[in-house]
């Protein structure tokens, strides 16, 4: 009995196939190649490179989904108009606040000053979209990572104390080396 088998090899940098005819009646089994070919793509990309690209793409997708959900919440609670969801940049550019520096607005909020809707949107949206800490000079070594985390935590605690005890402003904090 003759049986035909198609074998496919779909890799990240090549595609190949083989069409075989197998004769199982004979001992040993006979394989006859009917057709076969492969195509190798000219640019090589390692699995590690693809994994990094996939990771970056997923981080970007998550951030986009998170910021879109945040914009929908602003609209749902009547803080922003519908334009904020799909045309964010143009919507934010229509604001008529005196001070568009989000750090100054956030400083005012920390000092207990009342913010209008536009200032509130600018301050909170900037925090929500730019969260996290990234040190581009960090090393991969585990001990160095632990030391770096300790330094960051120490600086955060130092700043927290300054804000609570001295009602320190952002500009005054720049005098301190840990900020």
Tens-place pLDDT, residues 121-167: 998 888 887 765 555 555 555 555 567 777 777 877 887 777 777 65
Asked if pLDDT for residue 178 goes beyond 50, the answer is no
- Residue 18, C-beta contacts closer than 8 angstroms, at least 6 positions apart: 6, 7, 33, 35, 36
pLDDT at res. 179: 40
Token output for 149? 């985390």
Instruction: Report which of 162, 161, 133, 163 is spatially closest to residue 149, judged by C-alpha positions.
Output: 133
Beta-carbon count within 10 A of 65 CB:
10
Q: How far is CA 9 from the centre of its chain?
A: 33
Asked if pLDDT for residue 18 goes beyond 90, the answer is yes
Between 85 and 13, the more confident residue is 85
Q: How far is CA 67 from the centre of its chain?
A: 11
Q: What is residue 36's three-state secondary structure?
A: strand
Instruction: Give the integer Cα–Cα distance in Å for 163 and 166.
Output: 6
Domain spans of the chain?
2-40, 49-132, 137-179
Asked if pLDDT for residue 43 goes beyond 50, the answer is yes
Q: Could you tell me the pTM of the whole model?
A: 0.49
Tokens 């006979």, residue located:
30
Instruction: Give the integer Cα–Cα distance in Å for 73 and 67.
Output: 10
pLDDT at res. 37: 94
Q: What is residue 39's three-state secondary structure?
A: strand
Q: Which residues pair with 32 in a beta bridge?
A: 21
> What mean pLDDT comes out for the span 90-100?
86
Asked if pLDDT for residue 78 goes beyond 90, the answer is yes
Token output for 33? 């190649």
Between 109 and 156, the more confident residue is 109
Top-confidence range, 12-21, 71-80, 100-109, 146-155: 71-80
Round the average pLDDT of the chain to a whole number and report it.
81
């Amino acid at each position: 009995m003759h049986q035909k088998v198609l074998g496919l090899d779909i890799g990240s940098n090549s595609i190949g196939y083989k069409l075989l005819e197998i004769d199982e009646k004979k001992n040993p089994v006979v394989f006859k190649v009917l057709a076969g070919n492969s195509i190798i793509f000219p640019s090589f990309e390692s699995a590690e490179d693809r994994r990094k690209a996939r990771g970056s793409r997923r981080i970007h997708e998550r951030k986009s989904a998170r910021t879109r959900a945040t914009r929908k919440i602003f609209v749902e609670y009547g803080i922003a108009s519908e334009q904020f969801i799909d045309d964010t940049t143009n919507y934010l550019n229509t604001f008529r606040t005196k001070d568009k520096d989000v750090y100054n607005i956030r400083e005012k909020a920390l000092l207990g000053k009342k913010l209008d809707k536009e200032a509130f949107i600018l301050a909170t949206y900037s925090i929500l979209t730019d969260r996290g800490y990234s040190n581009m000079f960090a090393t991969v070594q585990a001990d160095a990572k632990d030391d770096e985390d300790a330094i960051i935590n120490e600086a955060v605690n130092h700043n927290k104390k300054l804000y609570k005890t001295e009602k320190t402003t952002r500009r005054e904090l720049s005098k301190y080396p840990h900020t």
